[in-house]
Amino acid sequence: MAATLLQLCTDALEGVDGFEVPGTIVGNTDPTAVLLKSVAAQIGRELVREVNWQTLKTAHSFATVASTSAYSLPADYQRFANLTFWNTSEEQPLLGPLGAIGWAELTRGMTVLGVRYAFHVSGGYLNITPTPSEVQNIGYDYYSRYYSTTAAGVAQEDWLLDSDLWRLDRDMAVLGMRYRFRAR
């Protein structure tokens, strides 16, 4: 079962001499509560950056718009799951993600793709070439950067309530929080 923020903080302080576990964390001005919330968020952001957690893997799809090549990434996008891009309209995988050199070659060079699409990420946008001339349905998987959810299961960027749930490995959270708490 997923742990709440309050449970994680309680577990992290268990056995740490000289500190009482606060009864609440979010909105509490007690320095211990403020520090616990801060280290919980720090551990969340760090673990999301370092590991491709299956629990954070999310499917996303969208329809292209004719004559539009740039599309916004999901708000919680951290990184793509490898080899998951698919043009379901054409039943073909997309090439990519291309690096800057490969993208420049395709968009400014002499390379011809035909009808197969390729993509590149730049400036927070997913860029597709060739620019679609008609609606295409594109799907891919990515890893979310949201390490917590509401009690109802809605993923979110940060801790908003003591009852918010941790989405990752509980032991890693507790040990990481305890270490950072003691270090400070």
pTM of the predicted model, to two decimals?
0.90
Which stretches of the chain are assigned E, i.e. beta strand?
A: 57-63, 70-72, 77-80, 86-87, 92-93, 118-122, 125-129, 137-144, 148-149, 155-156, 165-166
Give the model's pLDDT for residue 31: 96
Cα dist from 62 to 140, 142, 162, 167, 169, whole Å = 9, 13, 34, 26, 31
What integer is the mean pLDDT of 139-160? 97
Average pLDDT over all residues of the chain: 94
The percent of residues above 70 in pLDDT, for the chain, comes to 96
Q: Is the pLDDT of residue 113 over 60?
A: no
pLDDT for 20 equals 87
Write the pLDDT tens digit of every residue in 57-93: 999 999 999 999 999 999 999 999 999 999 999 999 9
Checking if the pLDDT of 44 tops 70, the result is: yes
Tell me what the mean pLDDT of segment 109-128 comes to: 83
